[in-house]
């Protein structure tokens, strides 16, 4: 009998370092692996800010396989200084989201 699906995040909080407001975008990738036997899929990824956009596959992730959530940050929409952004990751495994985050510092060139 297959073990249940288990979502394993390679890193659920990423330090992206320094980004510049004049840059067009910064891409952050979160790797998600199925550490169980049965499959799961991502239903949605929502952001705490309009300055980010998430791309992800809704295909099933089989046991042992991985998928990537690619998040694009628009630094021009972030105030200068330290920042943190949160993402809610919804899957077919539960009704509440898992939380991912990334942080860094925005500066002028």
Given a cut of 70, is residue 1 above it in pLDDT? no
DSSP 8-state code for residue 60: -
Q: What is the pLDDT of residue 55?
A: 97
Rg (CA), the chain: 15
* Tens-place pLDDT, residues 7-64: 999 999 999 999 999 998 999 999 999 999 999 999 999 998 999 999 999 999 999 9
Query: What pLDDT score does 8 carry?
Result: 97
Asked if residue 108 lies in contact with residue 20, where contact means CB atoms within 8 angstroms, the answer is yes
Task: Return the CATH fold of 7-107.
Answer: Immunoglobulin-like (2.60.40)
81-91 and 98-107 strand pairing: antiparallel
Q: What is the pLDDT of residues 49-103, one digit of tens each?
A: 999 999 999 999 999 999 999 999 999 999 999 999 999 999 999 999 999 999 9
Q: Is 74 helix (H, G, I), strand (E, B) or coil?
A: coil
In the block, tokens 């790797």 appear at 31
Measured between alpha carbons, how far is 97 from 86 in angstroms, rounded to an integer? 11
Domain ranges across the chain: 7-107
């Amino acid at each position: 009998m297959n073990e249940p699906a288990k979502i394993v995040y390679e890193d659920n909080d990423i330090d992206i370092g320094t980004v510049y407001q004049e840059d067009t975008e910064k891409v952050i990738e979160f790797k998600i692996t199925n550490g169980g036997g049965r499959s799961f899929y991502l239903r949605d990824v929502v952001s705490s800010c309009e300055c980010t956009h998430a791309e992800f596959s809704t295909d099933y992730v089989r046991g042992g396989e991985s998928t990537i959530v690619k998040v694009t940050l628009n630094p021009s929409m972030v105030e200068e200084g330290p920042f943190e952004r949160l993402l809610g990751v919804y899957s077919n495994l539960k009704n509440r989201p898992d939380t991912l985050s990334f942080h860094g510092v925005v500066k002028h060139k």
